[in-house]
Structure 1
Amino acid sequence: MSNNSNHTFLEEVLGIEHLTTTVLRTMFITINAIFTMLANVFCICVIKRTTHLGESTKVFACSLALADFFVGLMTMSSIVPSVINYWPFGEPLCHALINMGMALGNLSVIFLTCLGVDRLVTIKSALRYNRMLTKQYALTVSVLLWIFIIGCYLLLVPSGPPIEYRPHLAMCVHTVDDEGIIFLLIVSTSSYIIPITIAISTYIYLIIIARRHMCSIQRQIPYGPKPKLRGSVLMFTFATFFFVIAWTPLIAGVLYEGIARAKIPTWYEFFATWLVATNSWWNVIIYARSDRAWRNTAKRLLNRLLFTSNIIRTPTASLQT
């Protein structure tokens, strides 16, 4: 009798823990997805209204925010599986979402690199900047990148390795067998390690050139205020830096599984995978903290939105009165 009571009690405790985990995980995924989409829509609205950024800069920054928006939209697909603990949408959509996630990550690092090159041209060829990097040129490059990258990754759907649904992640992943490991190592190298190395090199060179430019200004005006590295150079550099922080744990886990042929802990896999997803709303905070002009534009937009909502609510309140 006591054995049955202990067994029932243990089942109840495990059931409560499982329910708590499911509720917390689902709440986190839902809040993260909604906040990511809203934050990046707001980011695009602010970027379009800023006056201190060039037209090509705005195009590349909006493309980066659009990629982050689609990450939030894509993670919405994990809400239902998180609740019911299995994948109900079929294998084709599972394949497509995995490859779309890799494509969006690749697009993000490419647009960060484009922004670094854009800022580099601004500093080195300021007089020719508007002729070299026009809005039409930036739009053409962005559209071609979207078509090429997403097309390449979607072509991998039928030829990719097998997939499996992992309940603790609430999403599908590639299986870690011999075929899957080789595929993930190739994709990790081509879509992250090489592009992020190029992006980091671009921003290091950008900072060196910017500091030389500031030293040149200080030599011409020795008694003036000391120039500081700020504005768009700083905010896109920080965005790249935090992108590396967000993606490195996941890539390190993939490389570890491929080299050591050992499974990483489930808690680490959840942390590394969803850290990448949360990175899609970090840029809004980074821009606000590192660029005063962007922050002031965001404040004016928020005030306008709040003022408009107050105007809409006021007649309703007066009618009710």
Structure 2
Amino acid sequence: MPEDVWFGCGGCCCSALGRAVALLFMLLLAAATLLGNSLTLAVLLGTRRYRTPHGYLKASLAVADLTVGALVVPLSVHAELALALGGPAPAWTARASVSGSGGDGALHPCALVGPVFAGCTLVSISTIFLLTVERAVAVLRPLHRDVVVTRRRTGALIALSWLGSFFLAVSPLLFGRDVALEYNPCSRMCTYAPRAAASALLLFPAFDFTLLGAAVLVNLVSLGSLRRHSRRRRRLAGNEGAGTSAGARRLPSGADIRAARSIGALTLAFTASFSPVAVLVVGNARGNEWCGFSFFAFWGLAANSCWNVVIYSAGERRFRQRALRLLTGCRDKSSTHT
């Protein structure tokens, strides 16, 4: 199949300079993902005010992103580092497919890393959807939030999200004979490789865009409601009387509003980072291989794993303060009194 300069592997991505830049990017991404998500987990699980259903959903998202930084990225770094040092490429990077039928291919690194990357991506998307629904309940029905959203229900939904996502991640290998796992030298990742025009791979973008589309719609409804609440809050603030405080209690709190905006930004960031991968998966299912584009698509998706701490810090002042205290080693007096 002929390839142009952009999609061909003979372009900048496979040159010596391109490999050096790619290796530096991988190392920085691994460090940022591990540090950012470890810090996020430390804040969420180590602070009493975050031990809520909303905090547990954020922690689940951080665990999925941390797994990508701990397992997926280091394998690619190992392969690129061996080439950068002038040595031979590891034997497992040869384009030998690993099928889902077991056998000798079960020891291939891609047999573990490929489904982990796909499963963690699906977990992230399903968790973002759950966060969006939870914030919508807090914004639209603030008085019923504690009844509808409980810790037990949230824990069950998190467990169902992980089980369902990883089952979906391995389903093309279990039920699709035309799909295998291999290390792709173009994307520098273990990916699902269609042996023919495999329609089973289309299950991933269909599932992801269904949840992401629903999350975007719910976010639009929540943000529209927030605008009305903001106008009502300003109107109540200008009034004086006994009914002002009673009316204010029916509105979502400032923390709920900031959290809803953070989840909206997180949804947009993940939608933007996943869209190129969806285009690539559809192209691969139809028998196309876009080499240069595959690197930018997959690593753009992997880079999304370190955005959570940035979005939370920008949108939530208390999260930012707690994270800075952990980084600088200062003692959090407020949490001690709490």
Mapped pair 1:140 → 2:156? yes
**TM-score normalized by structure 1?**
0.78
Instruction: State whether residues 169 and 270 of structure 1, in contact with CA within 8 Å, keep that contact through their aligned partners in structure 2.
Output: yes
Instruction: State whether residues 273 and 301 of structure 2, in contact with CA within 8 Å, keep that contact through their aligned partners in structure 1.
Output: yes
Q: Give the SS at the match of 1:178.
A: coil
Larger Rg: 1
Instruction: Report which stretch shifted further, 137-146 or 197-206.
Output: 137-146
**Aligned residues between the structures:** 286
Instruction: State whether residues 81 and 171 of structure 1, in contact with CA within 8 Å, keep that contact through their aligned partners in structure 2.
Output: no
- AA matched with 1:163: L
Mapped pair 1:201 → 2:228? no
Residues 98 and 239 from structure 1, CA distance in 2 versus in 1: closer, same or farther, beyond 3 angstroms? Answer: same
Mapped pair 1:42 → 2:59? no
Q: Shift of residue 306 of structure 1? A: 9.5
Instruction: Report which stretch shifted further, 283-292 or 162-171.
Output: 162-171
Instruction: State whether residues 197 and 285 of structure 2, in contact with CA within 8 Å, keep that contact through their aligned partners in structure 1.
Output: no
Q: How does 1:1-321 map to 2 (within 5 A)?
A: 18-49=15-46, 53=50, 55-73=52-70, 74-82=72-80, 83-84=82-83, 85-86=89-90, 88=92, 91-92=105-106, 93-160=109-176, 161-180=179-198, 182-190=199-207, 192-222=208-238, 231-258=258-285, 261-264=287-290, 266-304=291-329
Q: Shift of residue 232 of structure 1? A: 0.7
- AA matched with 1:76: P
Residues 222 and 256 from structure 1, CA distance in 2 versus in 1: closer, same or farther, beyond 3 angstroms? Answer: farther
Instruction: State whether residues 182 and 190 of structure 2, in contact with CA within 8 Å, keep that contact through their aligned partners in structure 1.
Output: yes
Structure-2 residue corresponding to 1:7: none
Structure 2: stretches of 5+ with no match in the other structure: 1-13, 84-88, 99-104, 241-252, 333-338
- AA matched with 2:201: L
- AA matched with 1:197: G
Output one character per residue of 1:251-271: Cα deviation in whole Å (capped at 9) or x when no partner: 122224446x5432x222111
Instruction: State whether residues 71 and 280 of structure 1, in contact with CA within 8 Å, keep that contact through their aligned partners in structure 2.
Output: yes
**TM-score normalized by structure 2?**
0.75
Output one character per residue of 1:195-235: Cα deviation in whole Å (capped at 9) or x when no partner: 111111121111112222222223323479xx999521111
- AA matched with 1:144: L
Structure-2 residue corresponding to 1:10: none
Q: Shift of residue 240 of structure 1? A: 0.8
- AA matched with 2:311: I
Q: Which protein is richer in helix relative to its size?
A: 1
Structure 1: stretches of 5+ with no match in the other structure: 1-16, 308-321
Q: Shift of residue 134 of structure 1? A: 2.1
Q: Shift of residue 137 of structure 1? A: 2.4
Structure-2 residue corresponding to 1:9: none
Residues 183 and 155 from structure 1, CA distance in 2 versus in 1: closer, same or farther, beyond 3 angstroms? Answer: closer
Residues 144 and 257 from structure 1, CA distance in 2 versus in 1: closer, same or farther, beyond 3 angstroms? Answer: closer
Query: Could you tell me how far apart the structure 1 residues matched to 2:190 and 2:163 are?
Result: 24
- AA matched with 1:267: G
- AA matched with 1:239: L
Q: Percent identity?
A: 21
- AA matched with 1:38: L
